[in-house]
Amino acid sequence: MRAATLRGLYAITDSKLLSDGRLLPYAEAALKGGARLLQYRDKSSDDRRRLREAEALRELCARHGAQLIINDDAELAARLGVGLHLGQDDGSLAVARALLGRQAIIGATCHARLDLAEQAVREGASYIAFGRFFDSHTKPGAPAATPEMLEQARQRFSLPITVIGGVTLDNAPDLIARGASLIAVVHALFAADSSSEVERRARAFSELFAHN
């Protein structure tokens, strides 16, 4: 999957939300529903479990034609030959690019700042991520981004743009219309009572892109 073709639902797992055995079935449900990227987000120090879960997620992504992205662990991403997402405090994007190679998908958190996006582009990012756009369970204290800033970013950058932070089925269409290439979702996707509901939600998010 080339960076230029990145478009659609970006499902982000949450270790706190999916800590009771739901990670793999819920992740597969999101992929069945059309998620194009799946980010493994686990800040714990249990390296063995993280490797085991990431390997399983990589196989699921391969089965469904999607791409696995590892949050904040360039070494794990390199070991598995998958993508990487870096926050502003997660290390050098340029170093990660050198480690993972030219073809790897590497995303960068840019909060609500176009200057951070410019830096990420220079250092070799595959996509740039802005947010939070709305009240967010996962990033409650993050600086607020605006739809107007998204439009400015779309005019300035040719890379795919990811939006995150309180994105729902109700507010996502406007963000897509204003230039979002990828809709990153955590709670609105995975805070569900069943894997079938996760799949239904994922399909609904994915279908939004068919109309934009």
pLDDT tens digits along 77-131: 999 999 999 998 888 999 999 999 999 999 999 999 999 999 999 999 999 999 9
Given the DSSP bridges, would you call strands 127-130 and 182-185 parallel, antiparallel or unpaired? unpaired
Give the global pTM.
Answer: 0.94
Looking at per-residue pLDDT, the higher value among 126 and 16 belongs to: 126
Pairing of β 83-86 and β 67-71: parallel
Candidates 147, 113, 148, 144; CA nearest to 128 is 113
Decide: helix, strand or coil at residue 69: strand
Summary mean pLDDT of the chain: 93
Distance CA(76)–CA(68), nearest Å, equals 12
The alpha-carbon radius of gyration of the chain (Å, integer) is 16
Q: How far is CA 166 from CA 133, 172, 183, 188, 189, in A?
A: 7, 9, 10, 8, 11
CB 205 within 8 A of CB 31: no
Judge residue 115's burial from the number of C-beta atoms within 10 Å of its C-beta, 0-12 exposed, 13-18 middle, 19 or more buried: exposed
Name the DSSP class of 90. Answer: S
